[in-house]
């Protein structure tokens, strides 16, 4: 079924909910927050659906999920709330602790990137989408994806421990 044929809502949800939730979870690291974001994304999507045909549900939902999750990261960082039940890791205790710290750092740092860089970075590395698919989801050229990705990595590496430069947010 093509996306622009106004498919049944349940089918859209069934097809894309997993990815929407996964994107949000990768960015936020919290099951609860990711569920909330996923819900917001679908609320927003159903409104857009009412406004006219959607060319690509996959692109729309991926974009919304990434943006809304990054918005939430920016609003909630850093809280010092230790949500142990949110940390669902497969590794052992030591590895888990190290991984958790790294993950926490990266989430906060990605949340500080400019929108486009954050979205491109998230889709590329967290969702592991190929460049062309990232470009299609965001409605930008593949070259722009490469540029944003390069800048995002440069920025992340150059800032390392700097979480709050206070600029773009």
Partner 1 sequence: MTNSRDLNGFAELEPQLDAAVRAILSELVPDEAVDRVKARAKQLATPSVSRPTVSTPALRRWKRVWLVPVGIAAALLMALFLLPSTSSTALADIVAAVAGKPWLLAKGTGPDGEPAEIWFSAQNGVMAYRQGKTAIFVDQQQGTLDAFGGPADPGSVQRMPLAHTPRQGIEAARESFLALLSGDVQRAMQQGGQRVFEHTSKTVRLEGREWVEHRFMVGHAGQEGLRTETILRVDPQSNLPVSWRMRCGEKTLLDCQVSYPDHGPLTIAALGVPASAPLVDLTPRAEFKQILAATKAARRRFDSYHALVIESSRAGRREGGLCYQIWRSGNRWRVDQCRLPADVKAPEEANADAWWLAKSKELRSYPLEICDGKRLWTFSPVRAELGRLDPQDPQFVLIDSLQRRADDLLDREDPRSYSYMRQMPEFYAYEHLSQGASFGFRAEVRTVEEKGRPLTRVDIIKTSRGRPKDISPRRFWLDVNRSHMMVRKELYWVSKPDQPEGASEVVASARTPQGLSYPTTVREIGNAISLEDNSRSDTYVRYYLEFEVEIPDKLFDGEAVDVKKFWTQLP
Which residues in the 79-98 window bind partner 1 by CB under 8 A?
A: 79-91, 93, 98
Q: Scanning residues 44 to 63, which ones bind partner 1 (CB under 8 A)?
A: 46, 63
Report the alpha-carbon angle 12-17-21, nearest 5.
155
Q: Which of 6, 17, 58, 136 binds partner 1 (CB under 8 A)?
A: 17
Between residues 4 and 132, which has the closer beta carbon with respect to partner 1?
Answer: 132
Between residues 5 and 85, which has the closer beta carbon with respect to partner 1?
Answer: 85
Between residues 54 and 138, which has the closer beta carbon with respect to partner 1?
Answer: 138
- 163 scored as a contact of partner 1 (CB under 8 A): yes
Residue partners of 140: CB distance under 8 A and separation at least 6: 116
Min dist. Cβ of residue 69 to partner 1 (A) = 12
In 3D space, the residue among 118, 157, 135, 129 whose CA is nearest the CA of residue 28 turns out to be 118
Q: How far is CA 98 from CA 14, 24, 27, 110, in A?
A: 35, 21, 18, 18
Min dist. Cβ of residue 127 to partner 1 (A) = 10
- Tell me how far apart the alpha carbons of residues 152 and 155 are, in angstroms, rounded to a whole number: 5
- 136 scored as a contact of partner 1 (CB under 8 A): no
- Tell me how far apart the alpha carbons of residues 66 and 87 are, in angstroms, rounded to a whole number: 20
Q: Which of 6, 35, 58, 136 binds partner 1 (CB under 8 A)?
A: 35
């Amino acid at each position: 079924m093509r996306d622009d044929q106004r498919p049944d809502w349940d089918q859209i949800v069934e097809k894309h909910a997993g990815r929407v939730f996964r994107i949000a979870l990768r960015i936020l690291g919290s099951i609860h927050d990711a569920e909330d974001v996923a819900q917001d994304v679908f609320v927003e999507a159903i409104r857009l659906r009412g406004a006219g045909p959607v060319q690509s549900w996959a692109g729309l939902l991926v974009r919304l999920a990434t943006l809304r999750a990054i918005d939430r990261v920016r609003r909630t960082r850093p809280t010092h709330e230790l949500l142990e039940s949110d940390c669902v890791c497969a590794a052992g205790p030591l590895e888990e602790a190290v991984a958790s710290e790294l993950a926490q750092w990266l989430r906060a740092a990605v949340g500080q990137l400019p929108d486009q860089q954050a979205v491109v970075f998230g889709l590329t590395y967290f969702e592991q989408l190929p460049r062309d698919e990232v470009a299609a989801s965001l409605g930008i050229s593949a070259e722009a994806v490469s540029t944003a990705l390069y800048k995002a990595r440069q920025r992340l590496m150059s800032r390392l421990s700097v979480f709050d430069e206070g600029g773009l947010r």
